[in-house]
Structure 1
Amino acid sequence: MTLGTTAQAAPLSATDDEILEILAARIDAQKQSVGIVVGIIDAEGKRVVAHGRLEKDDARPPDGNTVFEIGSVTKVFTALALADTVERGGVQLDTPVSQLLPESVVLRQATDGKPITLKHLATHMSGLPRLPGNLVPADDNDPYADYGVAKLYAFLSSHQPTRPPGGEHEYSNLGYGLLGHLLALQSGQSYEALVSERITVPLGMADTAITALPEWQGRRATGHDAGLEPTSDWDLGALQGAGALRSTANDLLIFLQAAMGKKPSTLAPAFSAMLRNRQPLGDGTAEQALGWVISGQGDRQIVWHNGGTGGYRSFVGFRPSTGVGVVVLSNTSTEIGVDDIGEHLLDRESPLAHAPVQRIAITVDPATYDAYLGTFRLAPGFDLTVFRDGNRLFAQATGQGPIELFAEAEHRFFAKSVDAQMTFKVGAGARAASLTLHQNGQDSLAPRVSD
């Protein structure tokens, strides 16, 4: 007989105390949220851990029944509604979008003549831009509220695609908003009624909806901006399928149980179809399914989606090899967000993010701001407009509110409300020819396209 030690495998999911430590660091030390709720599914069942406040000035703690905006996690519901409609025989994945639109809306095609299909929309392969070009918010704090069906149809009828569908992946809120609208048209009811009838009622998700429910009274979290100040909720207008749902951690745990096959459901065939239909992304380390993103390799593979609105961040995902599922909801929209928490709780080797570097603003002559004014193109349909308001400099991305810029060096500025910096390329006596956006560890060049 030999004596020795046996290595103990790390537990599949974190303890409540470990989760509380993460949340306290994120909220109390890093100041990156006001309140966060985490839901876990593991071998022991379901549990919820929370920390923080419902609102900056409301000390009541959030819990599993607190209602949050879930932003783009809505897209998973929209994709599930599509998969269920296919199962019912109402449409096919290769049904052309044009067949479901009114005759008055004529979709132009790229030069190859291929039509955009429902699958193209559900996998972000439609060739449509991230946002419609005629999205000009009346209120930057609620940028989609006045974007109605008439504006959606006007854009679709006037837009000339520059690339064929199926050729290139580009995340598109427009595409998913259109998908939700088309499914609603096909069903003869509103998008919210469709999601209720097909998904939330069958699964028993009583707290997932778009329109505020009377029983939410006293349970709604208040959204906060990156400066931890209360901000308004969002109305998605005609693009509800892209991000309009509100929900709770307890409801989303029910949804995850069904998605993971841990809860019997009539939607099981549709959930399976969502994961069967996938395609590689980028370097092949991730795949786009219907709605879900699938990343990682082998037993470290996770299935997930995140979301964000003006005052909230969300993450929902599961790891098939361990049977662990995670929901993370925050009532604050900060750059560090909650994605890293969700990924870490699914894969303990995935690191937690650090708080943004504290930057110091320097004093410059506001007259120098004129060199930076103009519109800079980050991607097709997605611009950054830099403008002055008196002695202050601002940047505004398409479909988003303005953020103030502060100088930290010559031609280099940073935002306090998000972890983002901009470096302008300026020639002698001229306006900047381009800017480089430094965000999320990436440097994105944006050439000037107009004054």
Structure 2
Amino acid sequence: MKKTLLHKHLGLAIIVILLTTSSAFAQTKATKIDALVQQYVANRQFNGSVLVAEHGQVIFKKGYGMANMEWNIPNAPDTKFRLGSITKQFTAMLIMQLVEKGKLKLDGKVTDYLPDYPKANGDKITIHHLLTHTSGIPNYTNFPKFFEMESRNPATPSEFLKKFADMPLDFEPGSKFSYSNSGYFLLGVLIEKVSGKSYANLLKENILTPLQLTDTGYDLFAPILPKRATGYEKQGSNYVNSPYLDMTIPYAAGSLYSTVEDLYRWDQALYTDKLLSASAKATMFTPFLDGYAYGWGVRKTKIGDLKDSLLVIEHTGGINGFNTIISRIPKDKQLVVLLNNTGGAPLGAIRKNILNILYNQPIEPPKKPITDLLRQSILSEPLAKSREKFNAWKTDKAYNVNEDDVNSLGYELMGNGKLPESINVFTLNVEAYPKSYNVYDSRGEAYMTAGNKAAAIQDYKKSVELNPRNTNGFDKLKELGETVEAPKEVAITVDATTLESYVGKYELAPSFAIAITRDGDKLFGQATGQPKFELFAESKTKFYLKVVDAQVTFESNDKGEVQQLILHQNGQNMPGKRVR
């Protein structure tokens, strides 16, 4: 009897010890996550809310900074943020539900459901093309002066659809990947046409209510919405309210709001068949071109020193004053949600570090940006003192000295009428990056604005010497009365077979890749979150861009298979492994 009782007590003790150890271990990770995010907050690189789940259980959630800076209202786990393109996964879910009900077909054409849509395009574009960004429809947010001229004006879906419905396609549907908000806008129109309900109402009926996502919805300006975060953008060393955007314009491509807590509930629901059957979900999460599935990016990623890569399903979002990310690792039911309301936060780097913590891998501490420090020094101290500090920051691994950031500060000061100070900033950039044509081009512009013609000519001459393709430099020299002829480029032809061998996706970092595509005898590159630009042949394996001073070299293995590219930019050589 005593022996049995002893065993019972021992078993209970073991359970208590195990629970305590598990709790302490989770707490350790939570403490590490908090300390990590606090570093980004201290660097003014994050202002928002965070939620992290491990094995399906929330181990950390917290708000940082202000949801409203004017009223000093802090961010919290239940603060509502605009999601931007995370909206697309909800749109894709609505489409797949309509497919399961037999109201839509993935291979159905746009004109099957919208007879008035221009047939030249609508007869070729399928629902699948729209979901996977392979329709070829031009992306309306890339239209010239879109944000200045179009984004503030309310429009019905059918009205706004006319902005791009008649435009020529960028490529044959299904042949390429090109991120297009227009495609997901059109999916919203299709949802309304087929269901007979508004996008917002069907979303609420089919997803939000069944999952009890009471803090998620269509973010229209007029309704009073408790705990809604204000969007901000950085202007100099201060924050300003982000420009107004009428939310009828992002529509099914980016108009939802939510909280980190609701997105956790959304994540958990995706492991069940509550919204969609297992087979339909398998279809939704199957990647097509460029690793894009239906409203989700799907790829494998290396986490720290782990031997095996892990499948990550995620999506980012960016909309005036906000940027967001939801990242899921289904194998271990891991989840990272980051919602930021000051725009431009390095969420990819934060997410990477949090995943490293979850898998007990070392993190890469965030580096402090020097822009604010340099601005303060330039505006209050002699150039010699600023130079001393700048050189110290360059050698200190705790700081991030970036040519583009310094250049942007120079232009900021120039725009504010502080020409001597802007010239000092550009001079520090010239000293730091003497082999970059762009630093001379920028200082030349400042000298030209200040009326120092001789100095401007000298800088522009140095700029075109370093980069004979810098047409802006030659134009400015001509404007300054200098007769410097731009060298004529020798056209180099690369055969179609070789060009085709370069087509694919090359990953330079977990959240940054370059997609290489071909259109006839032309090669194009599109970096994550950037427009597509043509690559011009410098040799059979090396290409250059005209829009920026950058080159790309393709490298092959012993079998002649292209295995990686090297991006040459800002004096750095960045390798990108071919992942597709």
Q: TM-score, normalised by structure 2?
A: 0.57
Indicate conservation of the 8 Å contact 2:39/2:366, yes or no. Answer: no
Output the CA distance in 2 between the equivalents of 1:411 and 1:278. 42
Provide the secondary structure at the position in 2 that maps to 1:342: helix
Distance 2:364 2:205 in 1: 39
In the alignment, residue 43 of structure 1 is paired with which amino acid? Answer: H
Q: Corresponding residue for 1:43?
A: 55
Q: Determine if contact 1:54/1:61 at 8 Å carries over to the other structure.
A: yes
Distance 2:333 2:440 in 1: 51
1:186 equivalent in alignment to 2:194: yes
- Residue segments in structure 2 that go unaligned for 5+ positions in a row: 1-24, 302-307, 380-410, 417-424, 430-438, 444-466, 480-484, 487-525, 534-544, 549-580
Spell out, residue by residue over 1:122-144, the C-alpha distance to the aligned partner (whole angstroms, 9 max, x if none): 1111111222676755756x826
Q: Which residue of 2 aligns with 1:278?
A: 287
1:86 partner SS: helix
1:73 Cα deviation (Å)? 0.3
Q: Report deviation, 1:253.
A: 0.7
Q: Is the 8 A contact 2:140 2:146 kept in 1?
A: no
Supply the AA of the counterpart residue of 1:191: Y
The counterpart of 1:167, out of the listed 171, 175, 180, is 175
Aligned position for 2:133: 124
- For 2:279 and 2:289, locate their aligned partners in 1 and report how far apart those are by CA, in whole Å: 21
**What does residue 427 of structure 1 align with?**
474
Matched, 1:209 2:239: no
Q: CA deviation at 1:279?
A: 1.8
Q: Which amino acid letter does the alignment assign opposite residue 20 of structure 1?
A: D
3-state SS in 2 of match to 1:296: strand
- Residue 73 of structure 2: aligned partner: 60
Please name the residue that 1:411 is paired with: 441
Question: Against the structure 1 CA distance between its residues 144 and 18, is the aligned structure 2 distance closer, same or farther, given a 3 Å change threshold?
Answer: farther
1:242 to 245, 250, 253: 253
Quote the residue 2:108 is aligned against. 95
CA RMSD of aligned residues (A): 4.0
Q: Is the 8 A contact 1:303 1:317 kept in 2?
A: yes
Q: Distance in 2 between matches of 1:192 and 1:443?
A: 32
SS in 1 for 2:331: coil
Q: 1:327 to 1:447 in 2, by over 3 A?
A: closer
Residue aligned with 2:50, SS: strand
Q: 1:296 aligns with which of 297, 300, 316?
A: 300
Match of 2:335 in 1: 325
Structure 1 residues 439 and 343: alpha-carbon distance in aligned structure 2, compared to 1, 3 A threshold = closer
256 and 271 in structure 1: CA distance in 2 versus 1, 3 angstrom threshold: farther
In the superposition, relative to structure 1, how do residues 168 and 352 fare at CA in structure 2: closer, same or farther (>3 Å)? farther
Where 2:39 maps in the other structure, the secondary structure is helix
Rounded Cα–Cα distance in structure 2 between residues aligned with 1:344 and 1:201 = 34
Query: 1:343 Cα shift?
Result: 3.3
Q: Deviations over 1:44-75 (max 9, x none)?
A: 72241222222233333211110110100001
Are the counterparts in 2 of residues 56 and 230 from structure 1 also a CA contact under 8 Å? no
Q: Determine the C-alpha separation between the residues in 2 that align with 1:198 and 1:125.
A: 27
The structure number with the bigger radius of gyration is 2
Q: What is the match of residue 228 of structure 2?
A: 220
**Partner Cα separation in structure 1 for residue 527 and residue 370 of structure 2:** 13
Partner of 1:154: 162
Higher relative contact order (CA 8 A, sep 6+): 1
- Provide the residue aligned with 1:74 in structure 2: 87
Q: Distance in 2 between matches of 1:238 and 1:279?
A: 27
* Alpha carbons 2:158, 2:189 under 8 Å: kept: no
Provide the C-alpha distance between the structure 2 equivalents of 1:346 and 1:325, rounded to a whole number of angstroms: 9
Distance 1:12 1:174, change over 3 A: farther
CA distance in 2, matches of 1:438, 1:160: 23
Relative distance call for 1:250 and 1:96 in structure 2 (3 A) is same
**Cα gap change, 1:442/1:353 in structure 2, threshold over 3 Å: closer, same or farther?**
farther
Note if contact 1:235-1:244 (Cα within 8 Å) is conserved in structure 2: no
Query: Residue 17 of structure 1 corresponds to which residue in structure 2?
Result: 31
Q: How many residues align?
A: 377
1:245-270 CA-to-partner distances (Å, cap 9, x unmatched) read 01111111100111234xx6233547
Asked whether the 8 Å contact 2:221–2:246 carries over to 1, the reply is: no
Amino acid at match of 2:271: M
Relative to 1, partners in 2 of residues 1:132 and 1:83: Cα closer, same or farther, differing over 3 Å?
Answer: same
Counting helix residues as a fraction of each chain, which structure ranks higher? Answer: 2
Partner SS state of residue 162, structure 2: helix
Contact residue 233 and residue 311 of structure 1 kept, 8 A: no
Distance change (3 Å), C-alpha of 1:254 and 1:161: same
Q: For the Cα contact (< 8 Å) 1:127–1:162, is it kept in 2? A: yes
Native 8 Å contact 1:108 1:157 kept in 2: no
Post-superposition offset of 1:226? 2.8
Q: How far does the alpha carbon of each residue in 1:99-133 deviate from its partner, in whole angstroms, 9 at most, with x for none? A: 22242x31424xxx971111111111111122267
Letter in 2 for 1:36: G
